[in-house]
A and B are shown apart, each in its own frame.
Chain A
Amino acid sequence: MNAVKISHITKKFADVTAIDDLSLNIESGKITGLIGADGSGKTTLIRLIIGMLVAESGKISALGLDPVTQKFELNKLIGYMPQKFGLYEDLTVIENLRLYADLKGVPHDFEKLLEFTSLKKFQKRLAGALSGGMKQKLGLACVLLGSPKFLLLDEPSVGVDPVSRRDLIKMVRDLISSTTTVLWSTAYLDEAHRFDTAVVMNKGKIIYEGKPTELAKTSEEFENKIIDLMGGYKKTESPIAKNYVYSHTEDVAYTVVADNLEKRYGDFYAVRNNSFNIEKGEIFGLLGPNGAGKSTSFKMMCGLLKPTSGTAQIMGIDIQKNPEKARSNLGYMAQKFSLYESITLEQNLNFFAEIYEVPKEELKSRVDEIMNVFDFKKIKEQKTGDLPLGFKQKLSMACALIHNPPILFLDEPTSGVDVLTRRDFWNHITSLAQKGVTVLVTTHFMDEAEYCDRISLFYKGEAIAIGTPNELKKQVNAKSMEEAFINLIKESDAK
């Protein structure tokens, strides 16, 4: 039995084809994972299935209904959790539940849900004041009201730590009946193994559909298989690293030093006792869930945020005492795309070359060279805002490298890009490190931790473990980085 039948649908937004002649059946009573990078078409597909959007061509049948003409009838049978969970942040937990119960016409009987989601104690708290994990559980509780036949969850696990992610799928399995169909979208390939069926999307098309365990035994292998399906990744010599000239002769024991960094907001410690030393040519990863203090540490390291106490040194220069000089050794790639979208690619590069004080006579040749290396020549006249996400990320990196810095700070450089681009990025990063560049990088992809020489694991504002990936895994007898992470957090919570 199929809950959803999709045949040959196409959906375009302006010039962009979001869904490209896609056909798919979703089995009843199963949890189907919809997996893909940002912009691969997951959200559009979910919205088409429930009639929030209408396709240009093709046909969809959901629970035997046509979402275009029978949207209202379909609404009565589904539970849909949009991205950002659809909660009213200025209403309390119980008020949100009451509202959605009334809208679905079901009695105010929340005992079981509150119990399961462990939100009972927080009933009177505003939804906006809940942690990410709790918001997600409340969002889930709201869509589960009225026992819908078909549950659609759009990236419920984004931005939450691996522990909460595991809890969430368990909660769904416990609370639905055996006939409920679930469609669950996620950007994390490593989540694929939790679902009964995995549907992997790329550029509006389905590139894999089937039992995840049939494709690969472990989630790491799964990712490799998916890369093969996308055409495979051939590791070649990184032209970026090849062209990099390490020209810094300063003799320092450690290129990057964090000395007891601490950031306090009132009584709340965003970061406390953060110390580490990074050697020349080392890749040092800051790992942890959102809100753990990674970005705060990062901003203090490059002098964008004043620490409450402690300091940091870049190439032996104190970032507090001499911020300009310290920063001149840095290439910084911010988490959010922070280039100017309304000017062309080349203009962005020129601008960054100027503010990083590349000497005037070298400027033109330097920008030309970096455009050659990154293969930007053909698109140099394009408006930056119109570039695909992968190119934007590459351009951010090019801007960070324009002045040949000895140190690179990368804040979540790979979020939102597909697996292939991610592999490519890490090839550049590791090759640059071999040339002597020191890299400080944050990520919430557990598998990326394996590329780092050393990792500092962040949780609730503190580094709960520092070491090589293997050391950390050994420390808690874990097979994968994700398992190590979960065990280390549990250990920390137990304390």
Chain B
Amino acid sequence: MKILRALVRKEFLQIIRDPSSIVISFVLPLISILIFMYGINMDAVRVTLGIKNNDNSHEIARLVNSFGQSNYMNSIVSDDMNVLTQKIVRSKIKGIISIPNDFSKKLETGRAADLMLITDGSEVNTANYSQNYVIQISNQWLATSKYAFLMKPQIVNPVTRTWYNQESNGYFFVLPGSIAITMTMIGILLTALVVAREWERGTMEALLSTKVTKIHIVLGKYIPYFCLGMISMIFNLILCIGIFRVPFRGNYFVLLFVSALFLFTCMGIGLLISSKFKNQFLASQLSLGIGFLPALLLSGLIFPINSMPEILQHLTKLLPPRHYITFIESEFMAGTVWPVVLKCSALLIILGTTFFIAVYKSTDMRLPND
């Protein structure tokens, strides 16, 4: 017990004196949350389209006007197709609407009239948005024009409500998820460096020649960095809930309990990397590769898991952030949903314990043979 206390105290002293662990715990979450808040925008965007109108009828002029007056769209009108093509090449506009000269004539006679929309396929999301906007705006125009009689009456009329996030506010759901990513990074990075550092500086060799046992070494790393990680977790929550006003509908105790399990799991990954590779540079590179990238790309925060290939979908179950993101999003937006909490906790306990055992097994009490 005395030995463990001495090791934990030593680790805390090192944390206090080492600015890098403070930077990882407090500056990294701040930067990460700011990026998720302002840098990654998944809400609808305003696009600018070019319009070439070959039909000079009065009614069509109103259509051209309504393209320009929408909240989601700006338009640039030109008679020269070349000018518009130039602009699309320079990315000044995201698409071109071309209205043929027989457009109103066809409507007049009750036939279907075509309208050409060219979009910039190099930005698929924007292209999709543009397409939707153009369809919506032209339908609205049609309903209020003199050709309104041509519209078929709509029988089924879906009325949408977005539950848990009425305003469809992107960052309300991204920010809690970003906590998961930040905490993966912090949990893995903090611990990945510390064991490797002891090997690099030769202090591990000195420790191994004292009464220190394996469990001392393992717990001596878990305990201090768990405490630091939880403080960083609370800092994250204060940023999210206190500063950025993300609504929280769940229970704080449940949130902290599951977060603690999650942190425990991530630290296991970090310590495993560290005790296997014993080199700070390699350890930090691997934490990025094993910790950050899968957490960002495969956890379902940004890319939906349902749209991944099936094998990958199964593999994501091994990623602690995947389960934690499911939990934290529902805890924030829907409140405590016990089935989700229990399933997520159980999975994290299984993963965390597996990593703990792996860390214990791979902690060397002798020098490596190389």
Contacts and interface: CB of A to CB of B under 8 A. Distances in A.
A436 interface: no
A52 interface: yes
Most chain A Cβ neighbours within 10 Å, of B5, B9, B211: B211
Nearest to B210: A103
Interface stretch (B123-131, B201-209, B293-301): B201-209
A90 interface: yes
Given A82-B202, A86-B202, A52 B208 contact: yes
A91 B13 contact: yes
B205 A82 contact: yes
A13 B6 CA distance: 35
B10 A99 contact: yes
A71 B365 contact: yes
B152 interface: no
Contacts of B201: 84, 88-89
Interface size class of B (residues with CB under 8 A): 20 to 34
Nearest to B4: A102
Contact of B367 (A47, A78, A88, A102): A47
A105 B366 contact: no
A264 interface: no
Contact of A80 (B17, B206, B370): B206
B205 A95 contact: no
A105 B202 CA distance: 22
Most chain A Cβ neighbours within 10 Å, of B5, B10, B202: B10
A84 B202 contact: yes
B165 interface: no
Contacts of A91: 10, 13-14, 17
B198 to A, nearest CB: 9
Nearest to A53: B367
A321 B5 CA distance: 60
A385 to B, nearest CB: 15
B282 interface: no
A155 to B, nearest CB: 12
Nearest to A81: B206
Given A13-B370, A90-B17, A99-B6, A75 B211 contact: yes
B367 A100 contact: no
Interface in A121-140: 126
A453 B14 CA distance: 50
A87 B202 CA distance: 8
B2 A102 contact: yes
A103 B366 contact: no
Given A53-B366, A54-B366, A75 B209 contact: yes
Contacts of B3: 102-103, 105
A15 to B, nearest CB: 12
A13 B3 CA distance: 33
B6 A102 contact: yes
Contacts of B5: 102
Interface in A61-107: 71-72, 75-76, 78-91, 95, 98-100, 102-105
Nearest to B200: A84
A103 B209 CA distance: 10
A54 B367 CA distance: 9
A88 B213 contact: no
B31 interface: no
Contact of B213 (A14, A72, A82, A89): A72
B195 to A, nearest CB: 14
Given A91-B13, A105-B211, A51 B6 contact: no
Given A13-B370, A52-B367, A75-B211, A86 B6 contact: no
Nearest to A74: B209
A50 interface: yes
Contacts of B210: 75, 100, 103-104
Contacts of A83: 202
A81 B210 CA distance: 11
Nearest to B10: A99
A103 B6 contact: yes
Interface in A378-400: none
A14 B17 CA distance: 39
Nearest to B206: A86
A104 B203 contact: no
Interface size class of A (residues with CB under 8 A): 35 or more
Given A53-B366, A102-B3, A95 B10 contact: yes
A81 B367 CA distance: 15
Nearest to B3: A103
A13 B367 CA distance: 12
B369 A88 contact: no
A89 to B, nearest CB: 7
Contacts of B205: 52, 80, 82, 86
B342 interface: no
Contacts of B208: 52, 75
Nearest to A90: B17
A78 B370 CA distance: 25
B2 A90 contact: no
B366 A52 contact: yes
Nearest to A145: B210
Interface string B1-30: 011011101100110011000000000000
Interface in B323-370: 365-367, 369-370
A98 B9 CA distance: 10
B167 to A, nearest CB: 48
B216 to A, nearest CB: 9
Given A52-B209, A88-B14, A103-B211, A14 B6 contact: no
B209 A80 contact: yes
B212 interface: yes
Contacts of B10: 88, 91, 95, 99
Contacts of A80: 205-206, 209
Nearest to A95: B13
A452 B188 CA distance: 55
Interface string B210-224: 111100000000000
Contacts of A103: 3, 6-7, 207, 210-212
A71 B209 CA distance: 9
Given A53-B369, A72-B213, A90 B18 contact: yes
Given A90-B17, A91-B14, A50 B370 contact: no
Given A102-B2, A103-B210, A104-B210, A86 B203 contact: yes
Interface in A249-278: none
Given A86-B202, A99-B6, A105-B2, A71 B366 contact: yes
Interface in B181-237: 201-203, 205-213
Contacts of A50: 209
A57 to B, nearest CB: 14
Contacts of B213: 72
Contact of B203 (A72, A76, A87): A87
Nearest to B14: A90
B310 to A, nearest CB: 42
Nearest to B207: A103
29 contacts: A14-B370, A47-B367, A52-B208, A52-B209, A52-B367, A53-B369, A54-B366, A75-B209, A75-B211, A78-B209, A79-B209, A83-B202, A86-B202, A86-B205, A88-B201, A90-B14, A91-B10, A91-B17, A98-B6, A99-B7, A100-B210, A102-B3, A102-B5, A103-B7, A103-B210, A103-B212, A105-B2, A105-B3, A105-B211
**Which 9 interchain pairs have the tightest Cβ spacing?**
A86-B206, A102-B6, A80-B209, A103-B210, A84-B202, A82-B205, A90-B17, A52-B367, A99-B10
Given A83-B202, A88-B203, A95-B10, 17 more contacts: A47-B367, A52-B208, A53-B369, A75-B208, A82-B202, A82-B206, A88-B10, A88-B201, A90-B17, A91-B10, A91-B17, A98-B6, A99-B9, A102-B5, A102-B6, A103-B7, A105-B3
